[in-house]
Structure 1
Amino acid sequence: MSPAAVALPPKSAQAARLAWLDALRGIGAMAVVAEHLLPWFLPELRPYWFNLGVYGILVFFLVSGYIIPTSLERHGDVRKFWVSRIFRLYPLYLSVIVLVLALAWWVPVRGEVPRDGSAVAAHATMLLDVVSVGGVADTMWTLSYEMVFYLMVTALFLVGKHDRSGLLAMSFAAAAVVVGLVVSGAVLVGGWPAYASCVVFVVGLVGVVWGRLRTVSACVLGVMALALLLLSSRVPWLGAAVLAVMFAGTAIHRWERGGGRLWPVAVTTALIAVAPLWAIESGWWWVRADVWLTTIALAGATFAGGMALRGRRLPKVLVWLGLVSYSLYLVHHPLLKYFVQITGDLRRADRPYQIAMAALALAVILAVSALAYRYVEKPMQALGRRISNRSKLQGRGDPRMAGEGPRHDGVLGHEERQVPDGVRDHVGQGDAVR
């Protein structure tokens, strides 16, 4: 029996100790839903002193950075990690794509999606935003940065550099500042980055999963992900900032376990705070100094509050919302479009009617999310575990990272409308749902 196995606490203790992560996901998910729901149902209630959606995704990215690398390090098995990721992400993702395309006769696919093969290639890899391709569902853009993070973490793990989270966080934050000052948009344009990255992604991932030239394949994928992030993203400084946030989450975890210091997180935060203030590509309301700084502060305070409450009993509704957060984030925006298509523009309706319709829309979203989790996510995750468990572990993992329950390393729910398909505010008070 490995040292990591000996160190594992009972499952009930693990669940109680890590419930705070699910609670944070629940808070982030509802912030995202509120950011999309309020402008179309109760526009007067939408806050503009901070950005609900960006707040939600910052919380999500912090949690993802906190837990994802430890999942890989705990098992020490790259194949198992990637089989888990594929079965965690793709089934629901593909289901939502099919739904949106099937109903395109009623609610057309958004104009940001190219009508050529580059859209297919970008959706196949999930690298949508870093190859400047819009997703068929608005909320899919954040998956691009999750995927870049996975690719880079895998490469770092295999070359033994995965413990430098603080340095990586500061480096990406500094890159966000520099790139913002010198780059006004994607350097690599056109459809070819989507095609080329799709070929490299498929071939490289086969090498990583099946073990042929695993380290070489992972390094090629990591370098490709970094190049796409900085050279072909819709908003390159934002991509670098997102990776800085995620590695900051990892650095916090290492500090908590006594494997690192906290000052790199403070430096990262300061750099991210100033990154958009002088960026060439900026000017949207959510990156005004007062709004941006307040949003960052609230996201950081929320994550810190969650950590302070870890191990304590938390509201079950928040924990449940976190459990279904991936379904919630992928399905809610298409459902809102369909709902408004039926009800018509509600922004000038009587307040009681607005409230009633908002409550009904939220109930539908939560019900569909619960069904998607129960009948799509959960069975496919179980299938992924069965497949990955058929192979021997590549290694014993890192005993320092033991104790994280497998349920808690899932990808997080995110939202799109603010960035970077929304380099303008797509849900401004004069817009229509599309």
Structure 2
Amino acid sequence: MNTSNSSGTILKTKQHFEILDGLRGIAALAVVVFHFMEWIFTDPGQNFIGHGFLAVDFFFCLSGFVIGYAYDDRIAKMGLRNFFISRIIRLHPLVIAGSVLGLLAFLFDPFGGHLELYSSGKIILTFICSIFLIPFPAIEDRGFNLFSFNAPAWSLFWEYIANIAYAFILFKIKRNILLLLTLLSAGAICYVAYSSGNLLGGWSGPTFWDGCARISYSFLAGLLIYRSNWIIKK
């Protein structure tokens, strides 16, 4: 038996859904416009796209659906090592590129924060943590982001956590257990919304666990949609 051919078959890309790319593009545009409008309207009630941040939760849900579709029937054959390699190749170049650009912006931005307040050691440590997606909310001028030189990486961090949970637990469980977990996570996100007053958290040190609730519900919901075959067909 040819092992390399077998491995290639297992890792072969499945059918591509163009409509999901379109939805992903619309969601990405919504997030960009939302953050831009935050600078113009400090009162969220005046922002015409004040709920645009929920596009991130849509990304999490879409990820759950896509991961289930792509790996449910082959992760056992491909093994954890190949699974994690495929996910790192998919996700981590963005982490590295964003960290490098963020560091350069921090060092050379003429309108930025107070570079003199931070030692070289702290800047280097922050950059290393950003490269390896280790939360380190230590720079006030960056709003105590989990990753001060790459603020959007907070969502990729939770994406990695969801992927790890999928590889070790979620791909094995039956649909009724998945449904129960989704309902429990729905309760958790309702609690976060009530206690925090919004669902904007997850990106900073003080709101760290809000992100856990957001990824838990959205990712599980996407995975449940796939396994329940709740798909609108043409």
Distance 2:220 2:137 in 1: 18
Written as runs of structure 1 = structure 2, the 5 A alignment for 1:149-164 is 149-157=162-170, 160-161=172-173, 163=175, 164=177
CA RMSD of aligned residues (A): 4.1
Indicate conservation of the 8 Å contact 1:65/1:245, yes or no.
yes
Structure number with bigger Rg? 1
Confirm or deny: 8 A CA contact 1:34 1:52 kept in the other structure: no
Instruction: Determine the C-alpha separation between the residues in 1 that align with 2:214 and 2:105.
Output: 35
Offset from partner CA, 1:241-280 (integer Å, 9 cap, x none) = 33111101111111116xxxxxxxxxxxxxxxxxxxxxxx
Structure 2: 5+ residue runs without aligned partners? Answer: 139-144, 197-201
When residues 143 and 162 of structure 1 are mapped into structure 2, their CA distance, relative to the original with a 3 A threshold, is farther
Report the equivalent of 1:141: 154
> In structure 1, which of residues 88, 94, 100 is the aligned counterpart of residue 96 of structure 2?
94
> 2:208 and 2:81 mapped to 1: Cα distance?
32
Q: Aligned ranges for residues 300-311 of structure 1 at < 5 Å?
A: 308=232
Q: Distance in 2 between matches of 1:70 and 1:110?
A: 47
Change (3 A) 1:94 1:110: farther
CA displacement, residues 272-310 of structure 1 (integer Å, 9 cap, x when unaligned): xxxxxxxxxxxxxxxxxxxxxxxxxxxxxxxxxxx64x6
Tell me by how many angstroms 1:153 deviates: 0.8
Alpha-carbon offset, residue 120 of structure 1? 4.5
For 1:128, the equivalent position in structure 2 comes to 135
How big is each residue's C-alpha offset from its partner over 1:126-149, in whole Å with a ceiling of 9 and x where there is no partner?
A: 253899733312322211211111
Shift of 1:31: 0.3
Shift of 1:20: 1.6
Q: Deviations over 1:4-32 (max 9, x none)?
A: x8xx9xx7xx33xx112111101101101
- State the partner residue of 2:182: 169
How many residues align structurally?
A: 201
- Paired residue for 1:256, among 224, 229, 234? 229
Indicate yes or no: 2:212 matched with 1:239. yes
1:200-239 alignment runs, 5 A limit: 234-239=207-212
Q: What secondary structure sits across from 1:104 in the alignment? A: helix
| TM superposition shift of 1:64 | 0.9
Distance in 1 of aligned mates of 2:54 and 2:60: 10
Q: Distance in 2 between matches of 1:103 and 1:92?
A: 16
Q: Does 1:25 align with 2:32?
A: no
Tell whether the 8 Å contact from 1:64 to 1:249 is kept in structure 2 after alignment: yes
Q: TM-score, normalised by structure 2?
A: 0.67
- Shifted more, 90-99 versus 101-110: the winner is 101-110
Q: Deviations over 1:66-96 (max 9, x none)?
A: 1123323232222222111111122232122
Answer whether contact 1:175 1:240 (CA < 8 A) is retained: yes
Match of 1:106 among 88, 108, 122: 108
1:94-143 CA distances to partner (integer Å, 9 max, x unpaired)? Answer: 122112223433224799x9936763464244253899733312322211
1:207-242 residue CA offsets vs partner (Å, 9 max, x unmatched) = xxxxxxxxxxxxxxxxxxxxxx9xx76242442133
Question: What residue ranges of structure 1 are gaps of 5+ in the alignment?
Answer: 184-228, 258-306, 312-434
Find the aligned partners of 1:38 and 1:233 in 2 and give their Cα distance: 23
What is the TM-score normalised by the length of structure 1? 0.39
How far apart in 2 are the matches of 1:71 and 1:123? 28
Cα distance in 1 for residues equivalent to 2:35 and 2:18:
26
Structure 2 Cα separation of the partners of residues 146 and 110 of structure 1: 31
Task: Report which structure shows greater RCO (CA 8 Å, sep ≥6).
Answer: 1
In the TM superposition, 1:375-386 aligns within 5 A as: none
**Which is further off, 101-110 or 135-144?**
101-110
